[in-house]
Structure 1
Amino acid sequence: MSFQLSPTFREQLAGAERPLVGLWVTSGSPVVAEICAGSGVDWLLIDMEHAANGLESVLAQLQAVGAYPITPVVRVPSGDPVVIKQVLDLGAQTIIVPMVGSAAEAEALVRATRYAPEGIRGVGSALARSARWNRVEGYLAHAQRHVTLIVQIESAEAVEHAAEIAAVDGVDGVFVGPADLAASMGVIGQQAHPDVTAAVHRVFEAARAAGTPVGVNAFDPQVADAYLAAGADFIAVGADVTLLARGSQDLAARFGAGESNPLAGY
């Protein structure tokens, strides 16, 4: 019996006729992930960097969204090759690695996603969901076809090296993180600051010159529209927890809730 894996994000980007729109899932909940998967967005980011997600919860979310026409993307907490190996073995076909600052770091990440002799990923396909327990014909020989690697540029230093990072063979996409970028530029919390947006545009230009898809995080609709107009290939426009926080707050304000709460204001 042979099992066919879904296309990776790399293939989705290559065949897209418009920018691909995504949501973050940081709640750690498979139910919430499944709800978001049915929303109509193109991709979901399951976050391990800033969320209470471990291997078990990531696996549950990958399984929960598997029946929906979206592409799951897992952001690992760091470039640790052991964590990358484990997340790939769970069946994540697309990973995002945060805080990549140089071409050398990007090259090391490529090696972490590939089996020897090109890389250092440990072999465990018979034990892992990645190869559907050796039910994917030729997985070991062609594993890199089933893996998309996206690296995050999130600092002023990384922006300076964006061209070299984007040009690394095996880097399938570059994703800009304006929040950490703003912090590194001395304007923390000001993701829409002109200097920050100018730096994002520099990364866009560097990635386009290298022929590498480029994306960005932008939860403000106006900022997102501007980045789409500037040529973003993929974009994250919201997160499960922020949607819940703002939506519940708006409902409370609409119906005057909390005004008589003795704890209000504490």
Structure 2
Amino acid sequence: MKNLENRFKTRLKAGEQQIGIWNSLQGNATAEVLATCGFDWMLIDTEHSAMDVIDVLPALQSAAAYPDCAAVVRPASNDPVLIKRLLDLGAQTLLIPYVQSVAEAEAAVSAMSYPPKGIRGVAGLTRASRFGTIDNYATEAEKELCLLVQVETRASLDALEHIASVDGVDGVFIGPADLAASLGHPGNPNHPEVVAAIEGAFARLKKIGVPAGILTLNRDFARRCIEIGTTFTAVGVDLGLLIDAANDLSKEFAQN
């Protein structure tokens, strides 16, 4: 059996726009429903949610039936053990949070790669290798793995070009909430200084030819980000959409 193509990575390299949705609610049903909604990618989040590594497996299995929606997984930290486990579960694209330096980006690359390039532990019977049926998985796996690193502090912005240029980094995601806090505006990602820093980061990434991404719930700003250069753009969070819809429905009937 041939290794599975990572369509998210293929489209990322081609510069195609991919619109995403955030999956923060546990349960395979949530992931499956989101995968049917027409998004190009879905972020399965284990950093800022109650989901853990074990919850990622049913989410990946549910999403697999809908290949037009690529599954991206965010581990809780830039931890080689977490990265190894998620890769073994079959995640092909990882978004690594809080990468602040070249050394941390290089550590993520190493965790994604088998020796001699990296330190990923080798196991034969994993979902990633289709339980040992993918031909030459150990030597072919990396071609279809995609590494996105999250830049979300003043320090990481200062090192942006260096982080983005690390061999093995496929794209850079700007994290508005943490960046706002780091710049002295906690809870206010729409502050002009934060917006200017984000837009400046996109321009810098575009200049060196590295794909840029973001999550923003501000739809006007999402369109602005797409206009100036993001190519993997998340525009909603499942929990937020549920809250908004439930509040709207409650208010509608409370008026009657």
Pairwise TM-score range, normalised by the shorter structure: over 0.9
Q: In 1, distance between residues paired with 2:171 and 2:32? A: 25
Q: Which deviates further from its counterpart, 133-142 or 31-40?
A: 133-142
Q: In 2, distance between residues paired with 1:56 and 1:216? A: 26
Q: In 2, distance between residues paired with 1:121 and 1:7? A: 19
> Which blocks of at least 5 consecutive residues in structure 2 are unaligned?
none
Contact 1:8 1:93 in 2 (8 A): no
- Read off the aligned partner of 1:59 and give its amino acid letter: L
Say which of 222, 225, 228 aligns to 1:224.
222
Say which of 177, 181, 184 aligns to 2:182.
184
CA displacement 1:39-79 (0-9 Å, x = unmatched): 00100000000111122210000000101021100000001
Q: Residues 67 and 16 of structure 1: is their aligned pair in 2 closer, same or farther, counting only changes over 3 Å?
A: farther
Contact 1:166 1:206 in 2 (8 A): no
Task: Say if 2:162 is the partner of 1:164.
Answer: yes
Q: In 1, distance between residues paired with 2:60 and 2:50? A: 15
Say which of 41, 55, 58 aligns to 1:57.
55
Task: Say if 2:238 is the partner of 1:240.
Answer: yes
Q: In 2, distance between residues paired with 1:177 and 1:23? A: 15
Matched residue, 2:90 = 91
Matched residue, 1:262 = none
Alignment partner of 1:24: what SS?
Answer: strand
- Which structure has the bigger radius of gyration? 1
Contact 2:47 2:76 in 1 (8 A): yes
- Read off the aligned partner of 1:219 and give its amino acid letter: L
Q: In 1, distance between residues paired with 2:161 and 2:221? A: 23
Q: In 1, distance between residues paired with 2:107 and 2:252? A: 51
Q: In 2, distance between residues paired with 1:71 and 1:6? A: 11
Q: In 2, distance between residues paired with 1:183 and 1:82? A: 28
Shift of 1:3: 4.7
Matched residue, 2:207 = 209
Contact 1:8 1:147 in 2 (8 A): no
Contact 1:91 1:129 in 2 (8 A): yes
Q: In 1, distance between residues paired with 2:132 and 2:2? A: 9
For 1:103-114, list aligned pairs within 5 A. Answer: 103-114=102-113
Task: Say if 2:13 is the partner of 1:14.
Answer: yes
Q: In 1, distance between residues paired with 2:7 and 2:112? A: 14
Q: How many residues are treated as equivalent by the alignment?
A: 255
CA displacement 1:107-127 (0-9 Å, x = unmatched): 111011000010000001x22
Contact 2:203 2:229 in 1 (8 A): no
Runs of 4+ in 1 over 3 A off after TM superposition: none
The share of aligned pairs that are identical, in percent, is: 42
Q: In 1, distance between residues paired with 2:149 and 2:3? A: 26
> Which blocks of at least 5 consecutive residues in structure 1 are unaligned?
260-266
